[in-house]
Amino acid sequence: MNTAESSAVASDLAWFKSSYSGTEGGDCVEVAASTGVVHIRDSKVTAGPVIRLSRKAWAGFVGEA
């Protein structure tokens, strides 16, 4: 797993929130993919830190979830 990156670096990405996330907020994350990396952030704090995972690590996480 990589360390958090600044939100300025991640601002140009196309972010997606799960269709299971309701319109009432709650605990949600957003993901954005770029070349070789998946970026993850808290949907309620979009200017906050972003975690970067390799695509392989992300696939492993999703496979276990």
Q: What is the pLDDT of residues 30-40, one digit of tens each?
A: 999 998 999 99
Domain-wise residue ranges, the chain: 7-64
Contact 50, 10 (CB under 8 A): yes
Cα–Cα distance, 40 to 36 (Å, whole number): 14
pLDDT grade for 46, boundaries at 50, 70 and 90: confident
Question: What's this model's pTM, rounded to 2 decimal places?
Answer: 0.74
Contact 5, 50 (CB under 8 A): yes
Contact 5, 49 (CB under 8 A): yes
Residue found by looking up tokens 């309620």 in the block: 44
